[in-house]
Structure 1
Amino acid sequence: MRKATSGRRAGTPYQATYLVLAVALTAYSLLQSLVAPVLPMLQASLHTDQNTVTWMLTAYLLSAAVATPILGRVGDMVGKKKVLAAVLLVACLGSIVGALAHSIGVMLVARAVQGVAGGVIPLAFGIVRDEFPREKVAGAVGVVSALIGVGGGLGLVLGGPIVDALGLSWLFWIPAIAMGVAAVGTVFVVPESPVRTPGRVSWLAAVLLSGWLVALLVAVSEGPRWGWTSGAVLGLLALAVVLAAAWAMVERRDTSPLIDMEMMRIPAVWTTNLAGLLIGVGMYSVFAFVPAFLQTDPSAGYGFGSSIVESGLIVLPLSLTFLVAGIWSGRLSHRFGAKAVLVTGAATAGAAFLVLVFAQSTVWGVVIAMVLMGTGFGLAFSSMSNIIVQAVPPRQTGAASGTNANIRTIGGALGSALMASVVTGHVQPSGVPAGSGYTAGFTVMAVAVLLGALAALLIPPRRAVDEVLGGAAPVAVSAAA
């Protein structure tokens, strides 16, 4: 049975704890995208092709998707502070290996180890829930969600200047230092919560989750090269379906599931998670492919020949508008409802991809797309947290919010693999991806995100949510903690 807690204990400065969590979350989100603007350079340095080097993003997201529910469960069992410190140290080690890697194989291993940092998300949500004053919890959850997206956008901007000033290896040394600092801060600043949830880790569920994700992502990424109707691709897709069904069955029957299927059946939860999955497909594909598109020499028939720094500056409006929209999302949700904000955000982000489809020939067209994209994703990410907090009892806030973030990560891994598959499926005789590949890829992403907006329309109104909760009054996410 879960021990009750009354929130922050006397003498514990929750602001200092929040600062440490902010550093950890920012470092995690930077790891998602810091390498994205320099993928072409890493491709040449590691002597590989575009499809393979894109796995530097996919491997990270895949590892994070599996690690997130496992480490959240372990933190509930043995203590969130201990597990958070361990996660940060492991991610630091992965960053060090990445800084020293000279082959794509070692680099992919390093990225998979870095992905363990995904455990920071549920642990941070749990620490906020256990240690913060009750009136600050919902707002902190919203800001945590915004940090994840904003940090990812900043990685696109910072990658170029870091490489120009310090070299490729510092894309890994800097996160290693940040993770190390956050680990030390966790040990000395973050209090150990007395809250424990007895249980065990379902390793069978973890293996099945890993299995169906790997099978699906390999099939999607290798489809153009192997052939979509080839036995290998069809076999992997069939295996993914079988393993996913087995995973869902195991989770439903387990008394300590990694992902609570009963909670997932709440109408407001599963519809929000479906929207999050589809929105994640589009969000993370931007990290890998917009910088590569901008850096392509115009002789290929598209692109602007931008430097790494220039491509980062062109993408910068995405991060800025993401932050502003995330801050305003709480106020807009309070006035118009979180569902309306989520639908609007997803529709705006979908429209941004359509701008990339039809106005990709000018820098200003791309800048306008980035403004729309940051606004849309900023509104969507923060409003999803609001809906989740409203849809579950207070004791499930951390688990439900962490699950939503994890599902977005799964969507991101799928989106990166899908975009790579589409782009590399259209190659010019020179070996450079054709412009039609990017156009098709952006179109697919637009469809995915707009489907996310349609999924958000299925979210039941707030009144229906209150009835499910038995008339409880869940708190709303504000713009700041």
Structure 2
Amino acid sequence: MSDAPAPTTATGGAAPPRSNAVVAVLAFSGIVVSLMQTLVIPIVPELPRLLAAPASDAAWAVTATLLAAAVATPVMGRLGDMYGKRRMLLASIGLLVVGSVVAALSDTLTPMIVGRALQGLAAGVIPLGISIMRDELPAERLGSATALMSASLGVGGALGLPAAALIADHFDWHVLFWTSAVLGVVAGALVVALVPESKVRGGGRFDVVGGAGLAVGLVCLLLGISKGGDWGWTSTTTLGLFAAAVLVLLAWGRWELRVAEPLVDLRSTARRQVLVTNFASIAVGFAMFAMSLVIPQLLQLPSETGYGLGQSMLSAGLVMAPSGLVMMAIAPVSAAVSRAKGPRTTLMIGALIVAAGYGLNIALMSEVWHFVLVSCVIGAGIGFAYGSMPALIMGAVPASETAAANSFNTLMRSIGTSVASAVAGVILAQLTTTLGPVTFPSQDGFRTVLAVGAGAALLAFAVAAFIPRRGGVAVGEETLRASSAEPDGADGVDGVDGAGVKEPVRKG
């Protein structure tokens, strides 16, 4: 395959036209997709009645999205590297729109699960957007843009809860999904109009066996984690799923190391900077989700418990909303710290801020403003941490593997959030208090979850300390200087040094 002229990219050249519009459209698309995390939260207690289904079955409306997102994220990333990131971005948004329409038209469980699964398949939008930014933006814009795109995962979740609660309180529940469909159409139209297709392609053949193996392994793992509390952690079903996940993922890893064109390049993933960043991402994902589990519950529990504040779902959402705005505001600050001190330092700072936020929450949980303050502190830490991860990943992989590598990193965060949900569920189920005929999680239970969240953030800090210092600033002009200072393959990957990425082969 012959080389085509290099497009204007983050590796040099004049800024492409409408770069501000590209950043805005991609960030908006990421926020729209991340809304799927909180879209159904206001109606979860009502789903059994709305869908005429048992509560255990109705819970699949949430689980299906989780499983589909886990499978789609790495697959869409690899397809984006092969066939075009913008093309796969539009395909993901299209799946979101179709899934939203299916859910909006549903009145029974099966079409709702199908619709929610299709919505989950859109989860690759954020890593694909980060990869497009790397290909299209000038170096001086890349750090802040990717930080904003990465933070959109938390921004959408924080802003989506009050919006979804407002719609659920005042309109028929189907309007939630019609709104999602309209936002998806708007995002898709903006991408078509303003986002160019990158000419940076990896080519090759899609690893069907690797895709199927990863899908089966992830479904077994995440299904066991998400449903283990309902089925029993020592039940035959749960243990069988975990055993199957271990066996399938081991076989998948063996296959990926032997196949010529793997779905996930495990050799690149095993490079120290990528590997350690992914481990830190699991801990950060855990820490982030603990906030989303604890704060809304404490706000909504009856005041008669002595620690609940008796707020509505809408009020709880409004308390959480400022954290999303803080994440957005922190994105350029995160990029500036990464340029000055390196993304490793930015990640460590973010982890410490998150841990401090949880420590603050353990002491302050008696007034609404306490939770506003805590959510903003934790949101600032998440903004720092999430903003640094794309820089660390992109500083260690070739441009032709950017989407796949970012997608795998996003998957690691998702695994962290899934584990957080399971761990918090076990803790809150064991530490309870009774008010009349109703049993609630106790205040000690919530404090224990907060302490575990703080511990996860401190673990992320400790893990991040092992990221190579010479990973430095992975994006921007510093990367270019670093990557020209060492020979190709200095750290074990052809054309990639320990600090940055060599100019990739551009394929038409």
Using structure 2 for the length normalisation, give the TM-score. 0.83
Amino acid at match of 1:6: A
**Bigger Cα displacement from structure 2, 404-413 vs 89-98:** 404-413
Paired position in structure 2 for 1:113? 118
User: 444, 453, 460: which one pairs with 2:468?
Assistant: 460
2:441 is matched with: 434
Q: Secondary structure at the match of 2:107?
A: coil
Matched, 1:445 2:450: no
Matched, 1:232 2:240: no
2:391 to 379, 386, 389: 386
CA pair 86-443 structure 1, distance change in 2 beyond 3 A: same
Q: Report the 3-state secondary structure (helix = DSSP H, G, I; strand = E; otherwise coil) of the residue aligned with 1:192.
A: coil
Alignment of 1:118-157 (within 5 A): 118-133=123-138, 135-157=140-162
Instruction: Give the whole-Å Cα distance in 1 for the aligned partners of 2:95 and 2:112.
Output: 15
Shift of 1:92: 0.5
Per the TM alignment, residue 393 of structure 1 is displaced from its structure 2 partner at its CA by 4.2
Partner residue in 1 for 2:346: 341
Q: Which residue of the partner structure matches residue 173 of structure 1?
A: 178
Q: For 1:170, what is the secondary structure of its paired residue?
A: helix
1:395: Cα distance to partner?
A: 4.5
For 2:91, which of 75, 81, 86 is the aligned residue?
A: 86
- Tell me how far apart the structure 2 counterparts of residues 439 and 53 of structure 1 sit (CA, whole Å): 29
Query: Partners in 2 of 1:425 and 1:108 — Cα distance?
Result: 30
Paired residues for 1:399-438 under 5 Å: 399-424=404-429, 430=437, 432-435=439-442, 436-438=444-446
Which residue identity lines up with residue 458 of structure 1 in the other structure? F
Q: Deviations over 1:400-453 (max 9, x none)?
A: 333322321232233334434443455667454422544443343333332222
* Contact 1:92-1:176 at 8 Å conserved across structures: yes
Residue 99 to residue 428, structure 1, CA distance change in 2 (3 Å): farther
Q: Which amino acid letter does the alignment assign opposite residue 6 of structure 2?
A: S
**1:102 is the counterpart of 2:110:** no
User: Partner amino acid for 1:441?
Assistant: V
SS at structure 1 position matched to 2:160: helix
Per the TM alignment, residue 47 of structure 1 is displaced from its structure 2 partner at its CA by: 6.2
Q: What corresponds to 1:375 in structure 2?
A: 380
Deviates more, 1:245-254 or 1:332-341: 332-341
* Structure 2 residue 330 is matched with structure 1 residue 321: no
Instruction: Measure, in 2, the Cα distance between the counterparts of 1:256 and 1:474.
Output: 20
Per-residue deviation, 1:306: 0.7
Q: CA RMSD in A?
A: 3.1
- 1:190 to 1:431, Cα distance in 2 relative to 1, 3 A: same
Corresponding residue SS for 1:391: coil
Which one has the bigger helix percentage? 1
1:347 touches 1:376 (CA, 8 Å); kept in 2?
yes
In structure 2, the residue matched to 1:277 is 282
2:486 is aligned to none
Are positions 1:253 and 2:255 aligned together?
A: no
Q: Give the whole-Å Cα distance in 2 for the aligned partners of 1:444 and 1:2.
A: 53
Task: Name stretches of at least 5 consecutive residues in structure 2 with no aligned partner.
Answer: 475-481, 483-489, 503-508
- Alignment partners' CA distance in 2, 1:427 and 1:93: 41
- The residue matched to 1:447 in structure 2 has which SS? helix
Check whether the contact 2:159–2:321 (CA below 8 A) recurs between aligned residues. yes
**SS of 1:198's equivalent?**
coil
Which residue identity lines up with residue 434 of structure 1 in the other structure? P
Q: 2:6: which partner in 1?
A: 6
Q: State the 1:116 CA deviation.
A: 1.1
Shift in Å, 1:280: 0.9
How far does residue 394 in structure 1 lie from its aligned partner after superposition? Answer: 4.5
**Cα contact 1:39–1:292 (8 A) shared by 2:** no
Contact 1:156 1:287 in 2 (8 A): no
CA distance in 2, matches of 1:406, 1:244: 14
- Write the distance in 2 (CA, Å) between the matches of 1:232 and 1:282: 28
How much does 1:115 deviate?
A: 0.8
Alpha-carbon distance in structure 2 between the residues aligned to 1:290 and 1:5: 52
Q: Quick one: structure 1 residues 108 and 411, their matched pair in 2 at CA, closer, same or farther if it must change by over 3 Å?
A: farther
Letter in 2 for 1:33: T
Cα distance in 1 for residues equivalent to 2:110 and 2:359: 36
| Structure 2: distance between partners of 1:287 and 1:424 | 17
Q: Residues 369-392 of structure 1: CA distance to partner in whole angstroms, max 9, x if unpaired?
A: 212211111111112222223333
- Residue 190 of structure 1 corresponds to 195
Partner of residue 357 from structure 2, selected from 345, 352, 355: 352
Q: Distance in 2 between matches of 1:167 and 1:363?
A: 29
Q: How does 1:45-60 map to 2 (within 5 A)?
A: 45-46=50-51, 56-60=61-65
SS in 1 for 2:373: helix
Identify which range, 335-344 or 396-405, moves more after superposition.
396-405
**CA 7–425 in structure 1, closer or farther in 2 if over 3 Å, else same:** farther
Q: Which amino acid aligns with 1:448?
A: A
Letter in 1 for 2:287: G
Residues of 2 paired with 1:35 and 1:2: CA distance?
Answer: 48
Residue in 2 aligned with 1:479?
none
1:304 is paired with a residue of what secondary structure?
coil
AA aligned to 2:450 is: F
**1:307-358 per-position Cα deviation (integer Å, ceiling 9, x unaligned):** 1221112212321322222221112223333222211211221332344444
Task: Note closer, same or farther for the CA distance 1:104–1:458 as it changes in structure 2 (3 Å cut).
Answer: farther
TM-superposed CA distance for 1:266, in Å, is 1.3
Aligned residues: 475
Q: Within 1, Cα distance between the matches of 2:348 and 2:421?
A: 23
Are the equivalent residues in 1 in contact too, given 2:290–2:450 (CA < 8 A)?
no
Contact kept? 2:334, 2:387, Cα under 8 Å: yes
Query: In structure 1, what is the Cα distance between the partners aligned to 2:172 and 2:330?
Result: 33
Could you tell me whether the CA contact under 8 Å between 1:281 and 1:408 is conserved in 2?
yes
Judge which range, 58-67 or 6-15, deviates more.
6-15
Deviation for aligned residue 1:55 = 5.2
Query: Does the aligned pair in 1 maintain the 2:396–2:499 contact within 8 Å?
Result: no
**CA distance in 2 between partners of 1:136 and 1:448 (Å):** 31
State the 1:56 CA deviation: 4.3
Contact 1:153 / 1:319 at 8 angstroms: preserved in 2?
yes
Residue in 2 aligned with 1:209? 214
C-alpha deviation, 1:273, in angstroms: 0.8
Q: Verify the 8 A CA contact 2:395 2:471 in the aligned structure 1.
A: no
Q: Aligned AA for 1:369?
A: V
Query: Aligned partner of 2:153: which letter?
Result: I
